[in-house]
Amino acid sequence: MIGKILFQRKVVKMKKDGNEWKFSGWSQRSQKCSLSPCISQCQVGKFCESHAPREILLLQDIGATPPILALLNPYPTATPYTDSKIRQKLGNCGIKKTRGGKEVIGGSEIRNQSVLLYEYVVKKRTDEEETFLKIIGRWPYQNDNNKVHDSVYLAVSLMVMIKGGATLLNSRILFFTGDAVWVKSFLNGNGVTFNKGEEVENVSVNPPGVSGEINRSLPYVYLGRNDNGEFYTGVQNQITQSVSGAKSPYHVLMKAETGMDHFEDDEDMTIFQSPIPKLLRNVVSHNQRSKFSTEKEEEFSKMEIAAKKYETLVHVALKIAEIVGQTYKGAFVKGVPKQMTHFNGAIDVVDLKAVYAFMFETSLVISEVSQLEKGLDEKVVINVINVVIN
């Protein structure tokens, strides 16, 4: 017996009312999204939630020294956000409320975007210290354009890590759809410039972040690269809290998608491991981290943090390489990773130049930059550049 699959086509009846299309005969759905191809109902002004106007906001706690900054991408709104509306959102963080007969904790929108900002506001309230967060920069966009989102987050993160002098309350920085031209323009406008230097002859086969014997049971950073200019980096160790020795599924997937699965032992290219403390010198892959003593766990965690910071350093080198049009074996450099961790004070220019030279066999010329500082109005001195991203 051959079965039949029936497909039902949904018919949406609409009528023209002046210059606007409206739903016909549908209760509580009087107007469709103003974006022509979209038939979703209006939820924010004249747009559906996906196509409504949005903003990336750069916030500063005006009273904090050194400056405390945070990037926030609040829910769509028909009108631009004000300082008071943002402070109202932040004021709900950590506050218990009853909703639908259940107790909930306010501030989920903030917590989901930046747990560091959420925790900062809650801690300040707990310590009975005042916060006065103010919008010091905004980047509007529409049509669910994540290219704007990723570009702004990457640009501000790079600026803060390279210039220093401020804390950014964001950790997970997505940049898969970031626009290199916009990022370069933003950084240049804030006194951060990069240029490719001369080719480096006789590049050392020893990575600058490796100074002794490697124990792959402990945290280390590995590098993959191929002749097509594709690079990947990640943190690995064979002692984990859950699955032993497992690299992220994302690494395996992206190796296949980019052709990096044709590498020969690419994950064996260790480019960083911090000096191994005495307590961990005898650790092997079958050891269980859950059975570590408190002292061993502390040492292991220090190595893990150091590895993650170096991973971020490599991510920064990769993004700079893309921005300046760096090539490797005749192909333009392309970083495979989609995100990085922001670390305040993570960038050491000497280390950045060293890892750049090792990875691309080219020197990096970087301008001397001044630290971020407050102006007379107590706001951080920053040039908010609005570049149209298509």
Residue pair 220/290 in contact (Cβ under 8 Å)? The answer is: no
Instruction: Calculate mean pLDDT across residues 301-325.
Output: 95
Rounded to an integer, what distance in angstroms lies between the CA atom of residue 343 and that of residue 168?
8
Rounded to an integer, what distance in angstroms lies between the CA atom of residue 309 and that of residue 295?
21
At 283 the three-state DSSP class reads coil
Residue pair 73/151 in contact (Cβ under 8 Å)? The answer is: no
Tokens linked to 36: 């022509």
Place of tokens 């949005």: 54
> Higher pLDDT residue, 319 or 76?
319
Tokens linked to 258: 């980019």
Q: What is the DSSP string of 150-203?
A: HHHHHHHHHHHHHH-SSEE---EEE-TT--HHHHHHHHHHTT--EEEEEEPSS-
At 60 the three-state DSSP class reads strand
Task: Encode pLDDT of 77-121 as tens digits.
Answer: 878 899 999 999 999 999 988 887 888 898 889 999 899 999 999
Run of H or E residues at 115: helix 115-126
The mean of the pLDDT values for the chain is: 84
Largest CA distance in the chain: 81
**Res 27: pLDDT:** 46
**Res 250: pLDDT:** 54
Tokens linked to 201: 């002859």
Rounded to an integer, what distance in angstroms lies between the CA atom of residue 173 and that of residue 26?
42
Give me the count of residues in the chain: 390
Please determine, for residue 1, whether its predicted confidence score (pLDDT) is greater than 50.
no
Residue pair 372/365 in contact (Cβ under 8 Å)? The answer is: no
The pLDDT > 90 percentage for the chain reads: 52
Please determine, for residue 171, whether its predicted confidence score (pLDDT) is greater than 90.
yes
Task: Encode pLDDT of 268-299 as tens digits.
Answer: 689 999 999 999 988 888 788 888 899 999 99
The answer for residues whose C-beta is within 8 angstroms of residue 275's C-beta and 6 or more apart is 211, 212
Q: Is-cis flag, bond preceding 66, omega within 30?
A: yes
Please determine, for residue 385, whether its predicted confidence score (pLDDT) is greater than 80.
yes
Cα dihedral 340, 292, 300, 343, rounded to 10, equals: 40
Please determine, for residue 328, whether its predicted confidence score (pLDDT) is greater than 60.
yes
Please determine, for residue 175, whether its predicted confidence score (pLDDT) is greater than 80.
yes
Please determine, for residue 40, whether its predicted confidence score (pLDDT) is greater than 80.
no
Give the E-state strand segments of the chain in sequence order: 14-17, 20-23, 54-61, 68-72, 96-99, 102-105, 133-141, 167-168, 172-174, 194-199, 220-225, 230-236, 270-272, 327-328, 331-332, 334-335, 339-341, 362-366
Type of residue found at 371 = Q
Please determine, for residue 320, whether its predicted confidence score (pLDDT) is greater than 80.
yes
The pLDDT > 70 percentage for the chain reads: 79
**Res 244: pLDDT:** 40
Please determine, for residue 310, whether its predicted confidence score (pLDDT) is greater than 80.
yes
Please determine, for residue 137, whether its predicted confidence score (pLDDT) is greater than 90.
yes
**Res 259: pLDDT:** 53
pTM listed for this prediction = 0.84
Task: Encode pLDDT of 229-246 as tens digits.
Answer: 999 898 988 775 544 445
Rounded to an integer, what distance in angstroms lies between the CA atom of residue 31 and that of residue 21?
7
Q: Count of CB atoms within 10 A of residue 183's CB?
A: 26
Please determine, for residue 159, whether its predicted confidence score (pLDDT) is greater than 50.
yes
Dihedral sign for Cα atoms in the order 292, 293, 296, 302 = positive
Task: Encode pLDDT of 177-197 as tens digits.
Answer: 889 999 999 999 999 999 999
The answer for 134, left when phi > 0, alpha when psi is -120 to 50, beta otherwise, is: beta
Instruction: Calculate mean pLDDT across residues 28-56.
Output: 70
Please determine, for residue 65, whether its predicted confidence score (pLDDT) is greater than 70.
yes
Please determine, for residue 361, whether its predicted confidence score (pLDDT) is greater than 50.
yes
Task: Encode pLDDT of 257-268 as tens digits.
Answer: 555 555 554 556
